[in-house]
Structure 1
């Protein structure tokens, strides 16, 4: 959401690090469907179950996508990456696929 607000205001889009670190994003309808599936399991099924979208996108790709959609004139500004910021965030949804028959339907 920061990227979107910055782009709409034509403020610099702030990326921490070089933008090569990845994240994954799960559409809310997919998340709700997975949660409903988890609630519908038998009482003897115990989690936790990772839910998310394993499709990764780099932070730089995300910033460029937002700029393309918004059509703003923002420049990308790089700042130091915090020490504790992970390079990759990608859920392993293997159990959700096998136990719930679930996988996300909506891509980024």
Structure 2
């Protein structure tokens, strides 16, 4: 998975180049891939399956989730969410690729 694949999956146009944002996304991508590999105890030697890529996007989204907001209201719009929603979703997507660790 590379930066262009991440941008497509996040709905960011490929021609929308912002060096600061792209550098942050690249760092987040590296961290999220490492997280997925560690959580799954799987190095994905044959490449990342689509479900793992979907989980990586959710992991990256979880980095920016507000940790303390339970509901938010702005005029007519109301938004409620719970802490850790994206990471819980990511774990669900990663579960099929998780390998048991033997010690």
Same fold (TM over 0.5): no
TM-score band by shorter chain is under 0.3
- TM-score, length of structure 2 as denominator length: 0.27
Task: Report which structure shows greater RCO (CA 8 Å, sep ≥6).
Answer: 1
- TM-score, length of structure 1 as denominator length: 0.27
Higher strand share: 1
- Return the index of the structure with the highest Cα Rg: 1
Higher helix share: 2
